[in-house]
Amino acid sequence: MTDISFPATSFRLIRDHLDGPAPAGLEGAVVALGNFDGVHRGHRAVIQAAEARARALGKPAAAMTFEPHPRVLFSPETPEFRLSSVDEKVRLLAATGLDGAIVMGFDKALAALTPAEFVQKVLVERYKVAGVATGFDFQFGKGRAGTTEFLRKEGERLGFAVDIAPPLLDAGERVSSGGVRSALTRGEVEHAWRLLGYPWFQSGEVVHGDSRGRDLGYPTANLKLDPNCKLRHGVYAVRVGVEGKRYDGVANFGRRPMFDTGVTLLEAFLFDFKGDLYGKTIDVAFYAFLRPELKFRSVEDLIDRMNEDSKSARQILAGAGNAFPQLADVAVARRG
Ligand SMILES: Cc1cc2nc3c(=O)[nH]c(=O)nc-3n(C[C@H](O)[C@H](O)[C@H](O)COP(=O)(O)O)c2cc1C
Ligand SMILES: Nc1ncnc2c1ncn2[C@@H]1O[C@H](COP(=O)(O)OP(=O)(O)O)[C@@H](O)[C@H]1O
């Protein structure tokens, strides 16, 4: 167990809707624009470009993101495996050192704005942006017709700075949310970690299970993940953040074929912890895939294997240094 000190933050979170009044607090900022699912290293490069420009201009720096993900509006029948919920995203953004984030409610009215209208109404009139930073492949506005080239021209015409970050490569692979998703789907959490720059994590409230864990000598804190989560089922070495402390542990994600539950859960056993976690929000970060879920001949065999899993996880995590996602406290962010 180690103490985590959250970065002190005066982070300002704005949840904006076009039909409401223009919110105060981040006018004149340099804005990093994007969906930022996972806030991976490529996203951080965009954020750094916004911060550098903001410093040069003596302005605040903020991220502007869209919620729900535009895909939810356009193709609700094919739900996306999201790397981060809006809360997780905001906590990641707040820890980057940005002054704030604008979460634009993405609805039909916003989707109907042409690229020129989005620039004029949202960026210029509503936020009076001093600059915009985005990734090389960002597209925006009705029909995704707005390109980075268009944004550059609009910036020149209307007087705001435009910075476009080139693709970021990791060992020849483009860092992308899609790359992280497919790594997680294969259980390759180390690869996801490389692309993200931090071990992937999921947050949630601890719920009650079947009280079986205690009898096995392995009480597990249970989280229901988003049903669209495509993380490979199996056993992982994890580190768990609880109320500013963190614990190494081992977790199973799946349906527990031993007990024919049919329900998909993330269940984490925390080493060197005793206490009650029900109702608490915890962060479970993934460091290594240990094995797939199995059906053992007996509960004793399962327990033997869980003992082995714990030993491997302890070894792996001892070699992981202090690595843990940098997360600011959302409760602090929300007060902003
Ligand atoms: C390290 C670890 C490994 C596990 N491996 C398996 C497994 O291979 N097969 C399985 O059916 N359940 C597995 N489980 C899930 C346990 O069966 C589960 O935690 C237990 O049923 C407790 O259920 P409860 O939380 O509802 O009380 C594993 C759990 C942990 C913590
Ligand atoms: N080391 C630990 N790791 C995880 N949970 C623990 C630990 N020690 C105590 N607990 C508590 O035990 C609960 C899990 O017990 P368990 O018997 O698995 O029941 P259930 O699955 O019904 O919640 C956790 O939610 C938490 O409150």
Report the 3 state secondary structure along 232-265.
CCEEEEEEEEECCEEEEEEEEEECCHHHCCCCCE
Measured by CA distance, the residue closest to atom 19 of ligand 1 is 213
Summarize the confidence of residues 253-272 as an average pLDDT: 93
Q: At residue 262, does pLDDT exceed 90? A: no
**pTM to 2 decimal places:** 0.94
pLDDT tens-digit profile of 49-93? 999 999 999 999 999 999 987 777 777 788 889 999 999 999 999
Please give the distance, rounded to the nearest whole angstrom, from the Cα atom of residue 102 to the centre of ligand 2.
37
Looking at residue 213, its pLDDT comes to: 84
96 touches ligand 2 (CB under 6 Å): no
ipTM: 0.93
**Burial (CB count <10 Å: 0-12, 13-18, 19+), residue 272:** exposed
Looking at residue 43, its pLDDT comes to: 98
Percent of the chain with pLDDT over 70: 95
Cα separation, 313 vs 315, whole angstroms = 5
Measured by CA distance, the residue closest to atom 16 of ligand 1 is 256
The conformation of residue 214, written as its DSSP 8-state character, comes to H
Q: Say which range, 6-10, 154-158, 286-290, has the weakest mean pLDDT.
A: 6-10
CB 201 within 8 A of CB 88: yes
Atom of ligand 2 nearest to the CA of 214: 17
